Structure 1
């Protein structure tokens, strides 16, 4: 007779992609998970997984077994989670991956209020402009902009952002203010450049008509936060999401250039490593973040 606990462990390993991650989610030693999977394989008389030091893959028998038992195990887990969630208080560690500029637009007061309301929750923020492996780095939730390339992850869109052209008052005082898109080619621009040191900005006017303009400058970076700081320092005109520039514009460190044009953004999403076994603390934090961020008006105004 099959041991249902072993079947559930197998499904968790298959979904997680590693024994270590499955063990973390199940709160058991990794050696225990490995041993129970071996016992399950012995009961079935077939190998379900191919293991190596760097990769774990399902055999054809493992894939067939997962297709048959995975949905049933998932329903049982979700039923149990629903029961626990209705009676439990959010608790435990939530590891959050986000861009380095995250706290430029995510207010620390929101974090303080969340922790005060949920005293059993701890937050660990991993800030990087590089995409992290949610499973390998034990990330519970990630904030990502742009298109999502990891189809194995579960995404939740928060909002669509917009980009705007901005520069420091000091730069415009020295170099003048562009009046047309064509004028941008005569200005220093801080850009995420290609190999030639230039970039193409696709902009649209208030009627939705799109235009392309080729720009270049002597300061380039692949990090938007660095471009924002460069623009504040007067190194040139930048095209950045309004979510990153709102506070600088309000403080007068930056002003909008050619405000009749905007740059279609790629939005911000919350990404989870899996649909299964999402702790209540993770769901509660995600709901708070979506509620706070979606209430902000990140769209640039039409006036300067």
Structure 2
């Protein structure tokens, strides 16, 4: 008779990529994990994975066994969680991945309010405009623009305010403000690095028609947080997510430029690692972030 716990353990070992990582997450010694998987292989009469010092590789038999077992294991885990989730208080560590400017929108003050409501939760942020490996980096939830379902499943896709043009009052006072999109070519624009030192901005006008303009400027950076800070410092006109400029506009640190132009139809995807069960703490945090985006979208309008 097969021990179905060993089958579930095999599925977790494949997902976490090693005996040691699976053992760490499941609270058992790696040699115990290895011994139980070997026992399962003996019962099946087939090698499921090849071991090496660096990684585990599934055999053809192991891949087929994993593909057939993983959905059943997930269904059992989900059924168990559904029975107990209503009684659980959100607690534990939530590791969050997002772009470098995420905390410009979901501010430390918002995080403080969330943690006051859920004092048993801890938050860790991995903020980088580059895509991260959700499994390898032990991420519980990621917030991405245009996320690909191949890296996980998308639980929510939320519309967000558009990307638009902003500059500081100091910049506008010194250099004026463009009256047409074409005039941006003569202004200092803050862009992502490009081999030609120029960037092509494509924006939609109020009539929904897309137009484009080639721009350049004295400052380029590889993430939007740096471009945001450069705009605040008066270095030029930046193309920024509207959600991160709300407080700056309210205190007069930034002003809209050519507000009839924007890059619309933006959305935010909430992505979880494939097949991982979502804890009450993660659900509570996602709900908190979604409320912030809903408030921002209501403020800006569709």
* TM-score between both structures, scaled by the size of structure 2: 0.91
Q: Which runs of 5+ in 1 are unaligned?
A: none
Aligned to 2:236: 236
Q: Which secondary structure state, in structure 2, belongs to the residue aligned with residue 129 of structure 1?
A: coil
C-alpha contact (below 8 Å) 1:78/1:277 kept by paired residues: yes
CA separation of 1:171/1:193 partners in 2, compared to 1, >3 Å: closer, same or farther? same
What is the 5 A alignment of 1:29-108? Answer: 29-108=29-108
1:153 and 2:152 equivalent?
Answer: yes
| Cα pair distance change 1:140/1:301, threshold 3 Å | closer
| Alpha-carbon distance change, 265 to 246 in structure 1, aligned in 2, over 3 angstroms | farther
Residue 253, structure 1, aligned to residue 292, structure 2: no
Displacement of 1:20 after TM fit? 4.1
Pair 1:217–1:109, CA change in 2 (3 A): closer
User: CA–CA distance in 1 between the matches of 2:125 and 2:232?
Assistant: 26
Checking the alignment, whether the CA contact within 8 Å between 1:96 and 1:123 is kept in structure 2 is yes
Q: Note closer, same or farther for the CA distance 1:140–1:39 as it changes in structure 2 (3 Å cut).
A: same
Checking the alignment, whether the CA contact within 8 Å between 1:164 and 1:239 is kept in structure 2 is yes
CA apart distance, 1:301: 7.1
The structure-2 alpha-carbon separation of the partners of 1:21 and 1:295, relative to structure 1 and needing over 3 Å to count, comes to: farther
In 2: Cα distance, 1:301 partner to 1:220 partner: 30
In 2, the alpha carbon distance for the partners of 1:58 and 1:31 equals 19
Encode CA deviations 1:161-212: one digit per residue, 9 max, x unaligned: 4111111111122112111111111111110132101111111111101101
* Structure 2: distance between partners of 1:280 and 1:300: 31
For residue 263 of structure 1, give the secondary structure of its aligned residue in structure 2.
coil
Provide the rounded CA distance (Å) in 1 between the counterparts of 2:212 and 2:111.
40
Q: Give TM-score, length-normalised by structure 1.
A: 0.90
CA RMSD of superposed structures (Å): 2.2
**Which residue number in structure 2 is paired with residue 19 of structure 1?**
19
Matched with 1:212 is: 212
Stretches of structure 2 that go unaligned for 5 or more consecutive residues are none
The answer as to 2:135 corresponding to 1:135 is yes
Cα gap change, 1:200 to 1:227, in 2 (>3 Å):
same
Inter-partner Cα distance in structure 2 for 1:300 and 1:278: 31
8 Å contact kept, 1:167–1:232: yes
151-160 or 23-32, larger mean C-alpha shift: 23-32
Contact 2:206 2:260 in 1 (8 A): yes
Q: Is the 8 A contact 2:206 2:261 kept in 1?
A: yes
Distance 1:176 1:291, change over 3 A: closer
Task: Give 1:53 shift.
Answer: 3.8
Structure-1 separation of matches of 2:301 and 2:146: 25
Contact 2:92 / 2:281 at 8 angstroms: preserved in 1? yes
SS in 2 for 1:151: helix
Q: Is the contact between residue 162 and residue 299 of structure 1 (CA under 8 Å) also seen in structure 2?
A: no
Contact 1:189–1:217 (CA<8 Å) still a contact in 2? yes
